[in-house]
Amino acid sequence: MRVGIVCPYSLDVAGGVQAHVLDLARALTGLGHDVDVLAPASESTPVPGFVTRAGRAVAIPYNGSVARLTFGPVSLHRVRRWLQAGDFDVLHLHEPTAPSLSMLALVLAEGPVVATFHTSTPRSRTMLTFQPLLRPMLERVTARIAVSPLARQVYVEHLGGDAVEIPNGVDVPAIAAAAADPLPRPPGPPTVGFLGRFDEPRKGMPLLLEALAPLDVRLLVVGRGDADDLRRRLPAALVDRVDVLGAVDDRTRSRALGTMDVLAAPNTGGESFGIVVAEGLAAGTPVVASDIEAFRRVLTEPATGRTAGLLLPPDDPAAWTAGLAGLLAAPDRRAELVRLGRARVRAFDWSTVAAAVLRVYEVAVAADPRGVAALDEPAVTLPEP
């Protein structure tokens, strides 16, 4: 099957949607499908061979954050040319309500269109403002996917209709293999890890620093942010016990997970899916996470109700101090969480997620008047996230 995937956000900067698009393309390619991704990217940014660059993006405020998007007549021409050259059996658009390439592709699309919604902002200013224009345009979408219950809720409340839930994916075998070769670490106290943009308030770094100050631990920070500013904000007790790796490649990120005795995800909210939590499970690292919906959904096995991690209040540093201290002092409990996590994360492996996405493609193609040859892949049951 020939699949065209459109990413609205620039590949010049790492992000959850960008990673999802590229990993999905790799998974589909591995299953024998012909995939082409259209995305904003400058000439200096390395991209996989299946990516078609759509030019540089512009940073603009979008839904309370800053997104790097591409829009305008030149972008419209590039999208039209890409669609004509691709002659895709199905077109898969990510975040088509964002003012970028996916929206332009939706305007020009002919044939089956699948849209994936990632947004978790309950009151999206963009969707509220442009709701009268977006609803008719989205009628061109043949099938809809939401990456989480919250993303689905946002779509339903703002735009009507419905979407099937298919979670984000993680490359479980690759993460596990890299984590088995952990980064070296200095001798001494156990290591608590943090993954993410550590200078973004909703990621919870201030809470984590306050919680760790009374404990004899090291903190390993992996992700983007101002390391000097972080060090200026460290409690005196942690000044000599914090290592900041910064932004690293995927393999180094996974090796860092293998170094950690515990992964802490103290996010305060605003997450549509707990990708960091899922990566921790894949690496075999015990996870301590904020008790927010996105993380509960990843950690909790629906059939049994068992939780493959320790959930703590996102606004109580004392509870985090006690929870981390208790878990670090209980090797048997950590081993049990690792066992539960390895079982739970299978639901989010790209082999499972890509198969579910392909099933949606089948539905979209069957619903389109043009029709194409049936997929070679067998029909699958959508995974329960």
Q: DSSP labels for 108-176?
A: H--S-EEEEE----TT-HHHHHHHHHHHHHHTT-SEEEESSHHHHHHHHHHH-S--EE----B-HHHHH
Residue 136 has pLDDT above 90, yes or no: no
Element (H, E) at 251: helix 250-259
pLDDT in tens, 251-310: 999 999 999 999 999 999 878 788 999 999 999 999 999 999 989 999 999 999 999 999
Report the predicted TM-score, pTM, of the whole model to 2 decimal places. 0.83
Domain 2-169+349-367 has CATH 3.40.50.2000: yes
> Measuring CA to CA, which residue among 285, 311, 276 is closest to residue 190?
285
Domain ranges of the chain: 2-169+349-367, 172-347
What pLDDT, in 10s, does the model give residues 174-211? 999 999 999 998 889 999 999 999 988 889 999 999 99
Q: What is the dihedral of CA 276, 347, 250, 38, to 10 degrees?
A: -100
| Residue 271, pLDDT score | 81
Strand partners, 36: 4
Query: Span 163-175, mean pLDDT?
Result: 94
Domains 2-169+349-367 and 172-347 share a fold: yes
Characterize the bridge pairing of strands 51-53 and 34-39: parallel
Q: Read off the tokens for 354.
A: 């890509």
Between 56-60, 82-86, 166-170, the lowest mean confidence (pLDDT) is in: 56-60
CA distances from 28 to 181, 310, 350, 372 (A): 28, 34, 9, 18
Give the three-state DSSP class for 81: helix
Q: Are the beta carbons of 356 and 383 closer than 8 angstroms?
A: yes
DSSP per residue over 276-314, as a string?
HHHHHHHHT--EEEE--HHHHHHHB-TTT--BSSEEE-T
* pLDDT at res. 149: 82
Average the pLDDT over 336-361 and give the result.
Answer: 96
The pLDDT value given to residue 344: 97
The domain 172-347 having CATH identifier 3.40.50.2300: the answer here is: no
